[in-house]
Amino acid sequence: MARTAAILGALGRALRRDQKSIAAVVGNNFFIVTALVLQEAGAFLYLILGLILLFTLSTDPLRKIPVSRLGLWPLERSERWILRAASPWVNPVTWLIGGSAVWVVRGKVTVGLWGLCGGLIAASFILSALPLGPRGNLWRRMPRFPEPLNHLIRKDLREMLSTLDFYVALLLSLAALAYRVWGPPLPQEALMPVTLLVVVALSSYAQCLFGLDGESGLERYRLLPVSGWQVLLAKDAAFLALAILVALPLAPMAGLGAALVALAVGHHATVHHQREQIRWRFSAGAPVIEGLVQCALIATAGASVGHSAWMMGPCVLAWAGSVWWYGRQWDATDHSGGSYAILP
Amino acid sequence: MCRNLTRRFGEFTAVDGLSFHVAPGAICAFLGPNGAGKSTTVKMLTGLLAPTAGEIEVCGLDPRTNPIELKRRIGVLPEDLGLFDDLTVEEHLQLTASVYGVGKQEAKDRIAQLLRALSLEHGRRTFASACSHGMRKKTSFAMALLPNPRVLFLDEPFEAIDPVTSKIMRDLLQSASRRGITVFLTSHILPVAEEIATQLIMIRKGKIVWDSPASELPQALEQHYFDLVESPVVEELEWLGPPRS
């Protein structure tokens, strides 16, 4: 028991120092927007997304211990079970999300639904222990893109597919598609809010496009004889490919315009405030204010393009200008505290 | 190659006024203990890090004014290998070939040969995140060599490498050197450095303490290193128990 307590104590210290789990909640556009727009009506959304997906997949403290180290420690089977059951409770995020969810849905959720949630949490813990990662055949089967950026785009697609942001956007998109197919006829304007919500769900990732490359990948980017705008172009191509995919059953043109603007705004944080991300978590992007500005511009761009296709022009121009400008910024920064002068 | 090269991180001076020249086709071993400034120097020479002061010239180019052109002419095995978790071994090499403008058929041939020579064929479709450290190092080494660079910068290339691959890598480097490619490598494995280097530079606390052709070394490299850089101090760990007779 003393050994388990020592490990839990160390885990608690590590979690208090690592604010990424909390940042993943407060720095994600989708959560900010749903909290502001849906308020109490979003109770079930918080319960399902927050408690089940975030709570289990994003903040499992045992993931902080390398598997090999955990396996080498001389722990009894019962001690490992105690560790498994007790570790979530040393995480401040557990209390934050769990407490908020319970408070929001107080009196509105039946015992049966709580039971379902409990079952899903247990299943998620078991699933999250499986070695998910870029190893399966699906990961190899990426479409081909023009050279010389083909492999960079394929890599960027794989990275984006290993964030929870994309799957939330996909769920929303599929739910809307199912409603369109089997539900009563929807007016075209009704698709706009869902399209914007789908792009908002992806938009935090647009603020941290290098988040899954790691130090090693960033170093390779610096060594490759490619300009900053090409690096951003490859990142953006992957983002736009997936944004178009999820916007396709909704309002694709508006979705594309909104996605271009999400990238145009997100490049600033991507280049200047690089934040490391963790696979199978929600992306934690820029500070809340920057996220809100991005969401407001996404909504404006999407609504404008939905109203007139000509508004796609300014969206493309804003995006292209951003790629050019922040490409130069990327070239001029050595990412180590020093900075090269911007080249003529 | 570099003059008065200096890099400071706040108050700490990692590299302090280094000046040296490496001739084309030489194999220069850059030696020193952990934290001496070797990797910082390599990063500055390859354009990854801006120097605080001093001048650099690699292949006749300054990394600050011609970064892209310089990157086209050099091959680098960086300290943390510079690999993407989401690309396979083979995809890393294909990416290198296309970014450096190697023709399709030529790239295919070079990749096949490098995979074979470095015993990477069986793991060609393995993602970098799932590779052993040795495989990752070999992949990064192959990426450095593939575009046929004028200068190779290798940061600790022989660590975590099996003896056979180490021998193959040494032979490849000597072969590259005979073809006029300059090799600049850091290493802690002194016997390997002694075997292949034609020039030896030793660095201690950011300053050069020795720079000469390998043939002018006054004594065995290991002893010379201990004399100039640092000598080992062995402590008895009494709590391991008494020695057995």
Determine the distance in angstroms separating the CA of A153 from the nearest CA of chain B, rounded to an integer: 11
- Is A341's pLDDT higher than 70? no
Q: What does the pLDDT read at residue A338?
A: 43
ω into A134 cis (within 30 of 0): no
Q: What does the pLDDT read at residue A344?
A: 27
Q: Which chain A residue's Cα is nearest to B70? A: A225
Interface test with A, best of B61, B84, B153 (most A CBs within 10 A): B84
- The answer to whether A150 and B98 are in contact (CB under 8 A) is yes
Q: What does the pLDDT read at residue A343?
A: 32
Q: Do A134 and B85 touch (CB under 8 A)?
A: yes
Measured distance CA(A44)–CA(A222) in Å, rounded: 45
- The answer to whether B127 and A134 are in contact (CB under 8 A) is yes
Contacts of B15 in chain A (CB under 8 A): none
- The answer to whether B180 and B24 are in contact (CB under 8 A) is yes
Measured distance CA(A160)–CA(A270) in Å, rounded: 14
Contacts of B50 in chain A (CB under 8 A): 334, 336, 338-340
Q: What is the mean pLDDT of chain A?
A: 80
Does ipTM surpass 0.90 in this model? Answer: no
Measured distance CA(A9)–CA(A180) in Å, rounded: 51
Q: What is the pTM assigned to this prediction? A: 0.83
- Is A259's pLDDT higher than 90? yes
Contacts of A327 in chain B (CB under 8 A): none
Q: Which chain B residue's Cα is nearest to A157? A: B86
Domains in chain B and their CATH numbers? 2-82+149-233 (3.40.50.300)
Q: Mean pLDDT for each 10-residue chunk of chain B (245 residues)?
A: 91 93 95 92 91 93 89 92 93 94 94 94 91 93 95 93 91 94 95 94 94 92 90 88 84
Q: What does the pLDDT read at residue A104?
A: 65
Q: Do B80 and A216 touch (CB under 8 A)?
A: yes
Interface list for chain B against chain A, based on CB atoms closer than 8 Å: 9, 43, 46-50, 52, 64-65, 67-69, 71-72, 76, 78, 80-88, 91-92, 94-95, 98-101, 125, 127, 129-130
Domain boundaries, chain A: 2-128, 137-332
Per cent of chain A over pLDDT 70 is: 75
Confidence of residue A89 (pLDDT cuts 50, 70, 90): confident
Contacts of B78 in chain A (CB under 8 A): 219-220, 223
Q: Which chain B residue's Cα is nearest to A158? A: B86
Confidence of residue A189 (pLDDT cuts 50, 70, 90): confident
